[in-house]
Structure 1
Amino acid sequence: MSANTNRTGPSPDRARVMRRTATGLLLLMAAAFVALQLLRGSHPAWGYAIAFTEAAMVGGLADWFAVTALFRHPLGLPIPHTAIIPTNKDRIADTMAVFLKDNFLTPQVVARRLVGFNLAAAAGTFLADPDRSGQSRLRAGAANLLADVLESLDPERLGTQVRAGLVHQLEKIELSPLLGQMLSAAIADRRHLPLLEGAIRWAGNALEANEDLVRAMIRERANSLLRFAGLDTRLANAVLDGLYKLLAEMVVQPDHPLKLKIETMMEELAHNLVHDPATRLKVERAKLDLLANPAVSEWWQSVWERLRRSLIEAARNPDTALGTRITGMLGELGQALRQDPALQLQINRFARRTLVGVVSRYGDEIVRIVSETVKRWDAHTVTARIEGAVGRDLQFIRINGTLVGGLFGLAIHAVERFL
């Protein structure tokens, strides 16, 4: 209640006290005038006192009539040109709207007022101060807003929508040329070598882990004569030794023929991915088949749900890494805004253009809302709100009118005495 009162003007109680004070002063002057008339003496001071009270009474009555006529009919009498505000409510609304538009909601006025105002630096100073309570509330508000949004939305439906959006975007992207260009760039920069060597080592480890399986396969395919002579075991050992030797030579020899053959095949693949229609069509079909696979959909749904729950838990707990990260991001943003003149120039220019654009586009609508809102108020509401805002000052006018009127009465009486 108090906060609202401070924003809209003096409280009704204070305005009522000032009204009673002004009325009491007027009644005091009237009572003093009557008493002085009844007790009139021969001393010249009586004339000055009577002139003061008489003029003060007239001045107080005149200002009472003027102040009252703004809001209502004095004594309830329908005197012309009284109750000015309730009678001219609609015209006042239009005047307020025109004043607001001409003085505040024109692009020229907004642009002129924003010149010299460094909005970016002010925002940077606010965000860069880690001890500022407002920043803590901002961080907490952002985290809670994120958590509320994630909790209020249907997880399954949201996950499906996100997946559908990703699938839609992936369907529009032709992966084959991208993969071909990436592979060509990797080969040109020799970044494919660690991957190739890793594949060779993986093949060696896989061969070592499955020696028994390889030996069994060779025995099964050997004829009975080899098995009878025991040559199948020697054959299996020779095959394994040859494979180990081949893999080892490919690792240590950069120009190994088989290694060079693999690189040539990779170059051909990169070229076909970009220029061969048949290869590109195969990649696109494989991409679409993968996106349409139900297993991929189930995998994404489980990933999304784990991600959503982790985000909610992190947002609800201000001491988690997410809260710390938000604080760090706000601080870094504040430092950048405060210390980078080029960034300040861009953001201030963007803010100025945005506000000017909003005023240009919606200024008339804002003015119309103000005008229509005031017009929808009834006369009593308009009168009460305006009187509540300026009523206390208007009662000071009555008090001043009473006192100033009395002083003028003294001056006039003094002039009469000396003429």
Structure 2
Amino acid sequence: MRITATLMLVAMAGLFILSRQYLGIHPSWGYVHAFAEAAMVGGLADWFAVTALFRHPLGVPIPHTAIIPANKDRIADNMAQFLRSNFLIPTVVARRMQNMNIARAAGEFLVQPAKGSQSRIGSGAAELLAGVLESLDPERLGGQVKVGLKAQARKIEISPLLGQMLTTTIADKRHLPLIDALVRWSGLTLEDNEDMVRAMISERANGIIRWTGLDGRLSSSVLDGLYKLLAEVLVDPEHPLRDKIEEGLEQLARDLIHDPQMRAKVERMKNEVLENEAVARWWEGVWERMRAGMIRMARDPDTVLGGQIGSSLAELGEALRDDQRLQTQVNRFARRTAVGVATRYGDQIVQLVSETVRRWDARTLTDRIESAVGRDLQFIRINGTLVGGLVGITIHFIDGLF
């Protein structure tokens, strides 16, 4: 456009010279000559005006030229103040966002499909997750996670939780299979250690019983009695020993919730487990396997994690797109957030704009403004040339009348 405007000015100069040679041949050449002369004046005047905004015409430091570079700092401050006064006012922000359905727009963006089965940003989110996991130091990250979990575990008093769980289990009769398993385990343990039990009974028997050989019969009687008792408990749901076990479990549940000594004892056991080095090494190994597995799954869109990210985002998008109540809540939150940002950080935002423009050198500022305005600047020159020519014809016509 700059070349076009300049060539038009050159064409008017050529037409001016040409028409001057034929002024005496016909009166119409006078109109052509007047048009070309006035067009040159208009084109040169607008060229000077446009150029004077950004630089000195022909490099000559004429007063009141290169206006934008000379007033760069003032322009920066005025631009920032304009933004602050017209855009970053809480009432203006709230009014402009009143009719904006941000939630619906976000939902439509999330559910818009990409080339694969994932949403437009699902694959990007999976790749971002994998990149973050890979970039972090595994040992340091594992240590930080371990320390964080340990700190959170220390804050949680698990004794009341265990007591509530045990109380609920007993109330729902879910402890009965546990009692049956305990009885079976006791019988198997007793069977595997019969020799040790017999030896213990024999050692505690007096010399006469051992001399008469009754210690063996006594051991067998004791073992048979224990086996019979365990069998009866296992087959009889109403056995008194079951009631005793249940009473013991109920008392344990009450102690876990209300007994300070029991709660302190459980806390000490918990802290001892947390401080155990074997537990720490076990957790580090578990975390590293989890990290490697999550990286593999995030890289592969066909795995559960890779597809789940896209599916979750799509489900969120459908909810935002279709649920009117959710849209109202999200839009209200977005509006309040934007108003809060404008209220709290409006001055800092416009200060950032002002300081950024101030840091630009004059040439950078000039080039960016000139590029932003673009073709319209050169249309000013073209229009000036044409309008000037028309004014020249008009003046020539009026002059011919008088």
Distance 1:362 1:231, change over 3 A: same
Structure 1 residue 122 displacement after superposition: 2.0
Structure 1 residue 61 corresponds to structure 2 residue 44: yes
Q: Look up the match of 2:107.
A: 124
Q: Which residue identity is paired with 1:148?
A: G
Q: Look up the match of 1:8.
A: none
The 8 Å contact of residues 110 and 119 in structure 2, kept in 1 or not, is answered as no
Distance 1:339 1:229, change over 3 A: farther
Q: Look up the match of 2:74.
A: 91
Cα deviations by residue, 1:126-172 (Å, 9 ceiling, x for unpaired): 22344467955623322232222222222222222211112212222
Which of 238, 241, 245 aligns to 1:255? It is 238
What SS does structure 2 have at the residue aligned with 1:381? helix
Structure 1 residue 288 displacement after superposition: 1.6
The 8 Å contact of residues 54 and 366 in structure 2, kept in 1 or not, is answered as yes
Structure 1 residue 263 displacement after superposition: 1.0
Which of 107, 114, 124 aligns to 2:97? It is 114
Distance 1:251 1:110, change over 3 A: farther
The 8 Å contact of residues 112 and 120 in structure 2, kept in 1 or not, is answered as no
Runs of at least 5 residues in structure 1 that lack an aligned partner in the other structure:
1-17
Q: Which residue identity is paired with 2:33?
A: I
Runs of at least 5 residues in structure 2 that lack an aligned partner in the other structure:
none
Q: How does 1:127-276 map to 2 (within 5 A)?
A: 127-131=110-114, 138-207=121-190, 238-276=221-259
Q: Look up the match of 2:274.
A: 291
Cα deviations by residue, 1:66-111 (Å, 9 ceiling, x for unpaired): 1111112223333222111111111111111112222222222222
Which of 313, 324, 332 aligns to 1:330? It is 313
Counterparts of 2:78 and 2:100 in 1: how far apart (Å)?
Answer: 29
Q: Look up the match of 1:7.
A: none
What SS does structure 2 have at the residue aligned with 1:163? helix
Distance 1:390 1:172, change over 3 A: same
Structure 1 residue 280 corresponds to structure 2 residue 263: yes
The 8 Å contact of residues 126 and 132 in structure 1, kept in 2 or not, is answered as no
Q: Look up the match of 2:20.
A: 37
Structure 1 residue 362 corresponds to structure 2 residue 345: yes
Distance 1:34 1:365, change over 3 A: same
Distance 1:197 1:354, change over 3 A: farther
> How does the TM-score come out when normalised to structure 2?
0.89
Counterparts of 2:52 and 2:371 in 1: how far apart (Å)?
Answer: 16
Structure 1 residue 236 displacement after superposition: 5.4
Q: Look up the match of 1:317.
A: 300
Cα RMSD (Å):
2.7
Q: Look up the match of 1:408.
A: 391
Structure 1 residue 280 displacement after superposition: 1.7
The 8 Å contact of residues 121 and 310 in structure 2, kept in 1 or not, is answered as no
Counterparts of 2:302 and 2:213 in 1: how far apart (Å)?
Answer: 70
Q: Which residue identity is paired with 1:319?
A: D
Cα deviations by residue, 1:344-389 (Å, 9 ceiling, x for unpaired): 2222222222222222222211211111111111212211222222
Counterparts of 2:301 and 2:136 in 1: how far apart (Å)?
Answer: 22
Q: Look up the match of 1:6.
A: none
Counterparts of 1:335 and 1:392 in 2: how far apart (Å)?
Answer: 43
Q: Which residue identity is paired with 1:276?
A: D
Distance 1:84 1:175, change over 3 A: same
What SS does structure 2 have at the residue aligned with 1:370? helix
Larger displacement relative to structure 2 (181-190 or 49-58): 181-190
Q: Which residue identity is paired with 2:11?
A: L
Distance 1:256 1:134, change over 3 A: closer
Distance 1:70 1:339, change over 3 A: same
Q: Look up the match of 1:26.
A: 9
Distance 1:201 1:116, change over 3 A: farther
Distance 1:153 1:35, change over 3 A: same
Q: Which residue identity is paired with 1:291?
A: L
Q: Which residue identity is paired with 1:256?
A: H
Distance 1:136 1:47, change over 3 A: same
Q: Look up the match of 1:12.
A: none
Q: Which residue identity is paired with 1:139?
A: G
Distance 1:391 1:304, change over 3 A: closer
Cα deviations by residue, 1:160-194 (Å, 9 ceiling, x for unpaired): 22111122122222222222222223223333223
Distance 1:292 1:71, change over 3 A: same
Counterparts of 1:217 and 1:137 in 2: how far apart (Å)?
Answer: 74
Larger displacement relative to structure 2 (200-209 or 284-293): 200-209
Q: Which residue identity is paired with 2:262?
A: T
Structure 1 residue 393 corresponds to structure 2 residue 376: yes
What SS does structure 1 have at the residue aligned with 2:99? coil
Larger displacement relative to structure 2 (270-279 or 194-203): 194-203
The 8 Å contact of residues 111 and 119 in structure 2, kept in 1 or not, is answered as no
Counterparts of 2:282 and 2:107 in 1: how far apart (Å)?
Answer: 42
Counterparts of 1:373 and 1:80 in 2: how far apart (Å)?
Answer: 27
Counterparts of 2:340 and 2:257 in 1: how far apart (Å)?
Answer: 45
The 8 Å contact of residues 56 and 409 in structure 1, kept in 2 or not, is answered as yes
